[in-house]
Structure 1
Amino acid sequence: MNVEKAMVGSAGKRGTRTELAPIKRRTKKKKKSLFFCRFCGKLCAWHELELEFLAGGVGYGLIEVLWRGRTHWSMLLAGGASLICICGVNKAMPKKHILIRAAVCAAAITAIEFAIGMIVNKVLCLGVWNYEKMFGNVLGQICPLYSFFWFLLCIPVLAVLKKARSKS
């Protein structure tokens, strides 16, 4: 609460001393987030990352189910990591054109898919996906067509994130 000092006293009376007394000013209260820390009372950075990871994992899983009719637990990890990267790019490059941000995000998602694909498909031999028949594939884990799809999908996601950020 901001406090200012004001002159208070008996105006015009002889022998009275003028004193400084605090005047209370009201300050605007910040809105509490839906998800806030029980210790600090606000949405701290770790909680924000957890929410991004959860939303990304669920969203990515839904996209997989809609596109292929099935998903795998590893796709939830890829989705969580991808949305954290998308949010990071959006925060780090807010003034860049949306197409540049979408290209950076698509490259990050492709790198995440490659890393998870190498672990899940090559090391653990789970055979979750195989792009060996696709043009321009790299070790059957990533291909240019799906990188382009990620680019297209990042455009509306970045627009929604920017709109949400401007409202908060």
Structure 2
Amino acid sequence: MPKGLGKTLAQNKKASHDYFIEETYEAGIVLQGTEIKSIRAGRVNIKDSHARVDKGEVKLINLHISTYEQGNRFNHDPTRTRKLLMHRKEIDKLIGVTQQQGYALVPLKIYIKNGYAKVLIGVGRGKKKYDKREDLKQKQMKRDIDRAIKDRE
């Protein structure tokens, strides 16, 4: 994870359940008009979104940024495809990784850093059903142990 993450506005908790996150990258988001105001107000949903490398550009698909209430007729489309700003070397690396079977680009967090909206993109390898069940068992056991320790005190 990059150091100095700003204020987290949206987090994809389901990503760690569905994917093994192997690498993370920080990227800027190209926004229009009132989108930054909606993001700063926390009116963003990252749950069903994903990223894709298309013609040498990384694009964020299905990210929902609600329309700004005080906006006018020039308000934005809530689920439009947004371009991500990354270094060329990082994009080239992502092209190689995503061409492998079972890998996906998953947005993990949206946050404000130095006044700019940033997204944390993770390279995820899909989990099988038994992996997900195993994770749930581990989480439940940890909860039970913590509860037993707390009751002892």
- TM tier relative to shorter chain: under 0.3
* Structure number having the greater helix percentage: 1
Highest CA radius of gyration, 1 or 2? Answer: 1
Q: TM-score, normalised by structure 2?
A: 0.26
